[in-house]
C-alpha cells in the first residue's frame, strides 16, 4: 500500500494508489476524535478502498467555502461519493458505511429488540459520555494547541459527569460483554477515540479503576484491526514529529 502526501492546504493521504477511483472520499483530520471514529469503523470492516483528505483545523480549513459546501456547520468528518452523495456527522457516517458495506458491526434489522438496544446504547454514549468527555478533551487537549489555559471549573464538572456515567456502566457491564449486548458493535467503537483522549489527558483511572469497565475496554482496544490502526497512527505521528525537528 503506497501513500501520497502533498503540501497543498488540504493535503492528501491516499490510502490506496490504484488506477481506479476509490469508493469514496473521507474528509477529516489527524487527532480528530470524530474522524477517528470513522477510521476505526473502516478498519474493523477491513475496508481500505477510500481516499482520506486531511483538513488543516489549525488553519481553519474546516470553515473554508469548499468545506462549508460539504458540511453546513463547517466541521469534519464528511464522506463524499463519486455519484454525488455526501454525508456528515461521524456516527451517521459509521452506521451508513456499516450498512452499505455489510460490516458485522450492527445487529440484524430482523432482530427488532437487538436493534433497539443498539439505538439505546448509541443514545447513552452520545448524551451521557461524549458530551462531558468532549468538554474535557477540548479544555485539556485542544486548548494546548491554541495556546490557551484550560478552564478547570469546566473540566471538574465534566469529569464528575464522566465518573457518574462509568459508575452506571460498571453495573451494566457486569451482565453483558459490550455496550449494546454481548456482541462488539459500532456502539463500542464510538467510545474509543474519546477514551483514548481521556488517557492522554491523565484520566486513565476513570476506566481502569472499574473492573467491568476496564475488562470491556481491554476487549475493545485489543481487537486486531484496532491495534493495527492505532500502531500505524503512532508510527505516523512519530515520523511527523521527527520531520518537524
pLDDT at 240: 75
**Given pLDDT bands bounded at 50, 70 and 90, which one contains residue 208?**
very high
Cα separation, 78 vs 219, in Å, equals 29
Mean predicted confidence (pLDDT) in 163-173:
98
Give me the residue label for grid cell 464538572: 157
Residue 218, H or E segment: helix 211-221
Q: Residue 160, CB half-sphere, CA atoms under 13 Å: how many?
A: 5
**Given pLDDT bands bounded at 50, 70 and 90, which one contains residue 20?**
confident
Cα separation, 4 vs 53, in Å, equals 11
Residue 30 preceded by cis peptide, ω within 30: no
Mean pLDDT estimate for the chain: 91
For residue 59, what is its C-alpha cell? 488553519
Cα separation, 205 vs 194, in Å, equals 14
Cβ-proximal residues to 184 (8 Å cutoff; 6+ apart), any chain: 105, 177, 178, 219, 220, 223
DSSP β-bridge partners for residue 51:
25
pLDDT at 2: 31
Cα separation, 46 vs 65, in Å, equals 33
First to last CA, the chain: 27
Q: Does the pLDDT of residue 196 top 70, yes or no?
A: yes
- Strand 50-54, strand 24-28: pairing: parallel
Mean predicted confidence (pLDDT) in 131-155:
95
pLDDT tens per residue, range 43-69: 999 999 999 999 998 899 999 999 999
**pTM score, whole prediction:** 0.89
Task: Centre a 10 Å sphere on the Cβ of residue 62 and count the other Cβ atoms it contains.
Answer: 22
pLDDT at 236: 83
DSSP β-bridge partners for residue 12:
53
pLDDT tens per residue, range 83-134: 999 999 999 999 999 999 999 999 999 999 999 999 999 999 999 999 999 9
Q: Does the pLDDT of residue 167 top 90, yes or no?
A: yes
Contact 10, 54 (CB under 8 A): yes
pLDDT at 16: 41
pLDDT at 231: 92
Amino acid at each position: 500500500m503506497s501513500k501520497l502526501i502533498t503540501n497543498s492546504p488540504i493535503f492528501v493521504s491516499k490510502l490506496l494508489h490504484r488506477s481506479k477511483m476509490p469508493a469514496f472520499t473521507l474528509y477529516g483530520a489527524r487527532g480528530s476524535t470524530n474522524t477517528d471514529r470513522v477510521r476505526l469503523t473502516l478498519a474493523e470492516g477491513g475496508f481500505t478502498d477510500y481516499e482520506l483528505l486531511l483538513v488543516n483545523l489549525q488553519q481553519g480549513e474546516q470553515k473554508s467555502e469548499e468545506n462549508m459546501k460539504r458540511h453546513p456547520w463547517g466541521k469534519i468528518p464528511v464522506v463524499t461519493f463519486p455519484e454525488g452523495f455526501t454525508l456528515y456527522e461521524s456516527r451517521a457516517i459509521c452506521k451508513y458505511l456499516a450498512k452499505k458495506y455489510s460490516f458485522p458491526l450492527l445487529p440484524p434489522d430482523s432482530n427488532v429488540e437487538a436493534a433497539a438496544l443498539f439505538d439505546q446504547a448509541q443514545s447513552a454514549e452520545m448524551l451521557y459520555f461524549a458530551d462531558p468527555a468532549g468538554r474535557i478533551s477540548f479544555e485539556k487537549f485542544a486548548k494546548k494547541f491554541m495556546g490557551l489555559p484550560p478552564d478547570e471549573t469546566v473540566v471538574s464538572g465534566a469529569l464528575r459527569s464522566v465518573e457518574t456515567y462509568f459508575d452506571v456502566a460498571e453495573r451494566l457491564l457486569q451482565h453483558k460483554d459490550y455496550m449494546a449486548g454481548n456482541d462488539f458493535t459500532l456502539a463500542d467503537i464510538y467510545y474509543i477515540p474519546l477514551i483514548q483522549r481521556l488517557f492522554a489527558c491523565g484520566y486513565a483511572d476513570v476506566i481502569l479503576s472499574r473492573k467491568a469497565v476496564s475488562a470491556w475496554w481491554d476487549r475493545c482496544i485489543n481487537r486486531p484491526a484496532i491495534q493495527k490502526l492505532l500502531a500505524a497512527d503512532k508510527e505516523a505521528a512519530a515520523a511527523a514529529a521527527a520531520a518537524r525537528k
